[in-house]
């Protein structure tokens, strides 16, 4: 111990020769220490006031394993050995928990810079270190990481909720669009929807010079069904007729309910002669499946048809003529 004390006093004496270094050593706000390398052991040769305050004792002449708990000392010494092996400055962060000289439990994080000190022959005799207490910074960083993690979780939760709300909103829009475009009883396009689609098909036929035809049909004696059997029976009949017509038409054909028991069918790329044959198939299929006859009128698209009503009018005129012919029989 006397030799250690003498060495420390010699070190401080050398510092005292340079007042600036002595001032730094005594008042530096972070831990400063000089470790003597003694074979496998590391002995504290000198420490500044800040480090003595940390350990609440004079550590001069003591091995690290005598000051710190064995696992903690091994952790610290491992860094010292790395510095010796590399023979270069080493910077690292370490965590330690120990009891100081007064028996007070202490725990924290320190950022340490370790420098090898050589003698005149180039051998490493000491390790000089500066250790900065970064416990508050580390805890603040951990708090920030926890906050960031929690924030990410909240953002993810809110994002999922927003995506779900968007999906529900889009689904609601689809339902509203369907309600706005479909006849609620039969499920086919309503008059407004049919008109919009038909006008578009007419413009395409006009631009490309392709044929286009329209059929209009209604149910024979439908008023009598409502009056004698009831509107529920009439609604059921409209559904059966619609299903029969859809089963007969092609995928490209457009079926719509025009009003009451009146239905219209748009037949793209279809000349009037082929449309009349389709009308005959519709009549046969509806009679077979729905057990009711329908009257059908047909009209072909003409170059001067500027509105859908032009086709509807001609098809409706033919439909009325077919009804009169049927009534006369």
Which 3 state secondary structure label does DSSP give 240? helix
Helix axes of 308-328 and 191-208: crossing angle, nearest 10 degrees: 110
The DSSP secondary structure of 246-280, one letter per residue, reads: HHHS-TT-EEEEEETTEEEEEEET--HHHHHHHHH
Number of neighbouring beta carbons within 10 Å of residue 279: 24
Q: Which residues of 203-227 are buried (b: 16+ CB within 10 A; e: fewer)?
A: eebbeeeebbbbbbbbbbebeebbe
d(CA 156, CA 103): 47
Closest CA to 248 of 207, 215, 220: 215
How is the beta sheet containing 105-118 ordered, strand by strand?
41-47, 31-38, 124-133, 105-118, 90-99
- Is residue 64 a contact partner of residue 73, using CB atoms and an 8 Å limit? yes
Annotation says 261 is catalytic? yes
Among candidate residues 183, 261, 305, 316, the one labeled active-site is: 261
List the catalytic residues.
261
């Amino acid at each position: 111990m006397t030799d250690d004390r003498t060495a420390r006093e010699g070190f401080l004496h050398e510092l005292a020769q340079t007042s600036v270094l002595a001032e730094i050593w005594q008042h530096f706000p972070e831990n400063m220490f000089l470790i003597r390398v003694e074979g496998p052991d590391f002995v504290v040769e000198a420490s500044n006031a800040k480090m003595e305050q940390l350990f609440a004792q004079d550590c001069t002449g003591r091995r690290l394993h005598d000051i710190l708990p064995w696992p903690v000392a091994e952790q610290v010494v491992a860094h010292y050995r790395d510095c010796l092996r590399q023979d270069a400055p080493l910077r690292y962060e370490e965590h330690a928990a120990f009891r100081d000289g007064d028996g007070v439990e202490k725990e924290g994080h320190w950022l340490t810079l370790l420098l090898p000190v050589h003698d005149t022959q180039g051998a490493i005799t000491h390790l000089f270190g500066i250790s900065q207490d970064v416990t508050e910074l580390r805890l603040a960083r951990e708090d920030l990481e926890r906050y960031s993690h929690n924030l990410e979780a909240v953002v993810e939760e809110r994002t999922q909720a927003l995506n779900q709300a968007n999906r529900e909103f889009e689904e609601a829009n689809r339902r509203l669009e369907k309600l706005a475009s479909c006849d609620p009883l039969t499920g086919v396009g309503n008059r407004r929807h049919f008109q919009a689609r038909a006008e578009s098909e007419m413009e395409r036929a006009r631009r490309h010079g392709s044929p286009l035809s329209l059929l209009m049909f209604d149910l024979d004696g439908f008023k009598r069904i409502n009056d004698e059997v009831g509107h529920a029976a009439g609604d059921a009949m409209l559904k059966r007729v619609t299903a029969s017509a859809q089963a007969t038409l092609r995928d490209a054909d457009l079926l719509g309910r025009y009003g009451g028991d009146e239905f219209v069918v748009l037949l793209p790329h279809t000349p009037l002669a082929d449309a009349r044959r389709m009308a005959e198939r519709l009549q046969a299929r509806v009679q077979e499946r729905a057990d009711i006859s329908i009257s059908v009128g047909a009209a072909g698209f003409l170059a001067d048809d500027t509105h859908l009503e032009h086709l509807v009018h001609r098809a409706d005129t033919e439909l009325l003529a077919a009804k009169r012919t049927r009534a006369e029989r």
